[in-house]
């Protein structure tokens, strides 16, 4: 659909060695963006993934290890990238439990990785965007940034928080050629969702098939999972000239979930 209009731009995508982050990285590279991909690990597979993305799309790809639960790592990731025209705050984790049983450490980790990391990366990336005269901040929120589900207190709080941060970032950059928006996916079948299925089976005393159909996709009127390519394509659109006046808002990729 788009030509290589992001040639010469660098996209930093947090939490991008799997799932939605990897899908977004793929789609941005497809339209010419150089990439910095990231996770908290530093394995041969991580670096091999960077090489294979570079070979597939003919762009520069670096893998930079940084733990998004640590503020200093978040800031160092952007500093090491050296340039950040497109910042995609994607890293995220999940834990499912009723509030009285929700481990405090899990609450802290979810708030740190899913919310605070975006504040720290943005704090370093925005001055770089200002210097370059162009920028896009794309925060990966969730349908849970707009609605709630039981047993997901920390996740829903973090995702509502990142929608708020998105609005403030947009207002602080409104007079500049920088935009900030949040993508709110519904269920996408990635490792984070796979990991929830056993917990949900236990909590609801249901089979895997019933959890998928009656707990997860029951909220998604399309009855289908969204795909990482669709979320990645939305990030490409937000980086395109057509989206220059779109800022401070949310775009749902949720099969109708938030229309209910
Ligand atoms: P995933 O588990 O496949 O990917 C999460 C990514 O974050 C991985 O690359 C992982 O390595 C990375 N990560 C985790 N902890 C990290 C840390 N401390 N430091 C750096 N990286 C870390 O999950 P996903 O479904 O691809 O989720 C990506 C984002 O999309 C998350 O923010 C998630 O909340 C959001 N989201 C997912 C869905 C869905 O249905 N899958 C729906 C809505 C929103």
Nearest CA to ligand 1 atom 32: 92
Residue 202: pLDDT above 70? yes
Tell whether 116 and 210 lie within a shared domain.
no
- Range scoring the smallest mean pLDDT among 48-62, 111-125, 210-224: 210-224
1 has a pLDDT exceeding 80: no
Structural domain including 216 reads 189-225
Model confidence at 211: pLDDT above 60: yes
Cα(48) to centroid(ligand 1), Å:
20
Alpha-carbon span 192 to 257, nearest angstrom: 19
How far away, in angstroms, is 163 Cα from ligand 1 center?
16
Looking at the structure, do residues 66 and 184 belong to the same domain, yes or no? yes
pLDDT for position 65: 98
Q: In this structure, is residue 260 part of a structural domain?
A: no
Is there a domain that residue 2 lies in? Answer: no
What total of structural domains would you count in the chain? 2
Q: Are residues 39 and 26 in the same domain?
A: yes
Contact 26, 231 (CB under 8 A): no
Same domain, 101 and 219: no
Pair 120, 213 in one domain: no
């Amino acid at each position: 659909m788009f030509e290589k209009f992001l040639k010469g731009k660098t996209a930093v995508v947090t939490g991008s060695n799997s799932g939605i982050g990897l899908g977004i990285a793929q789609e941005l590279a497809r339209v010419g963006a150089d990439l910095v991909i990231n996770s908290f690990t530093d394995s041969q597979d991580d670096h091999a993934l960077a090489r294979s993305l570079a070979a597939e799309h003919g762009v520069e790809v670096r893998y930079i290890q940084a733990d998004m639960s640590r503020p200093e790592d978040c800031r160092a990731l952007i500093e090491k990238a050296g340039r950040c025209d497109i910042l995609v705050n994607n890293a995220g984790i999940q834990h499912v439990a009723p509030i009285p049983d929700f481990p405090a450490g899990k609450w802290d980790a979810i708030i740190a990785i899913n919310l605070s990391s975006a504040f720290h990366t943005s704090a370093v990336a925005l001055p770089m965007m200002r210097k370059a005269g162009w920028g896009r901040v794309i925060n990966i929120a969730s349908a849970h940034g707009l609605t709630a589900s039981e047993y997901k207190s920390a996740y829903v709080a973090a995702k509502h928080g990142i929608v708020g941060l998105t609005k403030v970032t947009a207002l602080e950059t409104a007079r500049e050629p920088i935009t900030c928006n949040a993508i709110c996916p519904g269920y996408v079948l990635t490792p984070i969702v796979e990991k929830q299925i056993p917990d949900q089976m236990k909590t609801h005393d249901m089979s895997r098939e019933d959890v998928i159909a009656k707990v997860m996709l029951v909220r998604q009127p399309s009855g289908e999972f969204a795909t990482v390519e669709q979320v990645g394509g939305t990030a490409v659109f937000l980086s395109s000239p057509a989206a220059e006046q779109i800022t401070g808002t949310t775009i749902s990729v949720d099969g109708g979930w938030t229309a209910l």
